[in-house]
């Protein structure tokens, strides 16, 4: 099964919670009041930023998370809580007298015109940090990995970071730090610390060139000084470098059209934490995280990486071919997002252009199209009288852009329907309906491959042998 299942992983994310607001519009003139563009706003959106964007990525990748951080007693603090509730993300936010960190961006013609920051760096907030640490202790044995998302807004002080790292090491779970600033003593003994090249140089008090030799040389120096297990340096168009005491590995990125680098680091941290949480080895986890970053930078604004996007980047269209043991989890994720599920089944032993037409029509009946293909179709294979290679059918149908998921079943689609509980079942060609409608589906639509297939009473009354 070329699918990664993150649904059983839970990540604790501790850090600076933000609200990101976007105003999108068009620029047609310059202001008469000052030499600045006038943006006619057409659309406004709001999303979670900072540590909130890490949990948003985890949610869209199918994992679970818990968010710990500060919010203010203000409308944007309430907005952050509401956004978390809408995403179904658990949180234990601590309210402080400081305002909720908020970034407002104005985008004109796909170009950021201005960014407005509403924030105050948290200082003298030890009592609030201790409360966060207590809440982290409540969760430490219930999670599989931890991310410290430090944006330099004061939440991630020495006491919170060191206390969280010590707890993580005591229970043997990985702790990933998305670092900021020049005080790396507070990250001492972390599993992985993830700076970019500029942050890396600032922490060591020197300018570091973005080349393999310098990255490795100073990476080893940082490991010795701060006793990290690994240092993971994100290097923009040059990819990512992993430095450990044993070896250095450089992961080069694919060329991408970059629209916006906002949130790329959050996507890396989220993907890396989930991959390690489900037991994927470190190098494969980094490769996956690198692919996630490549997806995010091709989007405008702080947008999370979607599970299907990551699987396509990882495996190509073959990621659509999943085992029946995963289909229940997949369908549950779709329902949480309010998607209408269509299950298509039929005789795919001898593919023809009418199958493509019917599958395209089936997709129009809902949001997501799952196709169940029988390894030993009955009675269709006997009707055609032709040898079947269901492997060819799996691969060809998976390559269709409008097909979202393909499941191979031993004989009949009943189990797929039972696990996915689709809104609609589309029965394609000369194939029996059986008890699909009565037990598993709200609606059954019959799609004949040719006119002669339509209106056959024997077919409509057929049951499985």
Which one of the listed residues 20, 144, 178, 266 is annotated catalytic? 266
How many residues appear in the chain?
465
CA nearest neighbour of 221 among 235, 211, 231: 231
CA nearest neighbour of 320 among 433, 397, 374, 413: 397
Contact 247/34 with Cβ under 8 angstroms?
Answer: no
CA nearest neighbour of 192 among 208, 218, 174: 174
In this structure, the dihedral spanned by the alpha carbons of residues 451, 455, 458 and 463, taken in order and rounded to 10 degrees, is 90
**Cα 321 to Cα 390: distance, rounded to the nearest angstrom:** 12
Secondary structure in 3-state letters for 75-116:
HHHHHHHHHHHHHCCEECCEEECCCCEEEEEEEECCEEEEEE
DSSP code at position 42 = E
* Catalytic-residue membership of 266: yes
As given in the structure block, the two tokens for residue 163 are: 């206390």
Q: How far from 20 is each of 37, 40, 68, 211, 351, CA to CA, in Å?
A: 22, 19, 18, 33, 48
**Cα 349 to Cα 355: distance, rounded to the nearest angstrom:** 11
DSSP string, 119-138: -----S-HHHHHHHHHHHHH
Contact 152/181 with Cβ under 8 angstroms?
Answer: yes
**Cα 351 to Cα 371: distance, rounded to the nearest angstrom:** 14
Q: What angle do CA 251, 6, 250 make, to 5 degrees?
A: 5
Contact 50/17 with Cβ under 8 angstroms?
Answer: yes
**Cα 380 to Cα 385: distance, rounded to the nearest angstrom:** 9
How many other C-beta atoms lie within 10 A of the C-beta of residue 188?
16
Q: How far from 287 is each of 118, 129, 239, 310, 389, CA to CA, in Å?
A: 35, 34, 10, 11, 34
Phi, psi of 247, deg, nearest 5? -160, 165
* Catalytically active residues, by annotation: 266
């Amino acid at each position: 099964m070329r699918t990664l299942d993150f649904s059983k992983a839970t990540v604790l994310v501790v850090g600076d919670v933000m609200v990101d607001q976007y105003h999108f519009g068009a620029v047609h003139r310059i202001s008469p009041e000052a030499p600045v563009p006038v943006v006619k706003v057409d659309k406004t959106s709001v999303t979670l930023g900072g540590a909130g964007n890490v949990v948003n990525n985890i949610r869209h990748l199918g994992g679970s998370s818990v968010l710990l951080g500060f919010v203010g007693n203000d409308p944007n603090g309430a907005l952050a809580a509401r956004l978390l509730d809408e995403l179904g993300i658990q949180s234990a936010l601590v309210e402080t007298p400081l305002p909720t960190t908020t970034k407002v961006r104005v985008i004109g013609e796909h170009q950021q015109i201005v960014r407005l920051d509403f924030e105050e760096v948290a200082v003298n907030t030890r009592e609030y940090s201790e409360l966060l640490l207590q809440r982290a202790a409540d969760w430490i044995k219930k999670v599989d990995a931890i991310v410290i998302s430090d944006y330099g807004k004061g939440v991630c002080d020495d006491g919170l970071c060191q206390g969280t790292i010590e707890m993580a090491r005591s229970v043997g779970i990985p702790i990933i730090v998305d670092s900021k600033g020049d005080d790396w003593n507070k990250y001492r003994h972390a599993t992985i610390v993830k700076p970019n090249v500029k942050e890396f140089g600032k922490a060591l008090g020197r300018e570091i060139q973005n080349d393999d030799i310098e990255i490795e040389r100073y990476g080893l120096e940082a490991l010795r000084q701060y006793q990290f297990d690994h240092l993971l340096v994100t290097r923009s168009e040059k990819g990512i470098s992993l430095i450990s005491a044993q070896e250095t590995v450089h992961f080069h990125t694919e060329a991408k059209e970059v629209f916006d680098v906002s949130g790329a680091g959050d996507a890396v941290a989220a993907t890396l934490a989930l991959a390690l949480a489900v037991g994927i080895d470190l190098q494969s986890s980094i490769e996956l995280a690198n692919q996630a970053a490549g997806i995010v930078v091709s989007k405008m604004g702080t947008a999370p990486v979607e599970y299907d996007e990551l699987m396509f980047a990882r495996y190509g269209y073959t990621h659509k071919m999943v085992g029946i043991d995963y289909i229940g989890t997949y369908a549950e994720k779709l329902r949480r997002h309010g998607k209408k599920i269509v299950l298509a089944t039929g005789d795919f032993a001898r593919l023809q252009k009418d199958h493509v037409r019917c599958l395209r029509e089936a997709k129009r009946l809902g949001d997501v199209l799952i196709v169940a293909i029988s390894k030993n179709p009955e009675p269709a294979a006997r009707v055609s009288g032709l040898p079947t290679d269901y492997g060819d059918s799996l691969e060809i149908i998976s390559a269709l852009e409008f097909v979202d998921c393909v499941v191979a079943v031993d004989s009949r689609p009943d189990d797929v329907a039972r696990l996915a509980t689709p809104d609609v079942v589309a029965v394609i060609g000369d194939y029996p309906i059986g008890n699909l409608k009565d037990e598993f589906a709200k609606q059954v639509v019959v799609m004949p491959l040719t006119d002669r297939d339509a209106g056959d009473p024997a077919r409509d009354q057929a049951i499985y042998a």
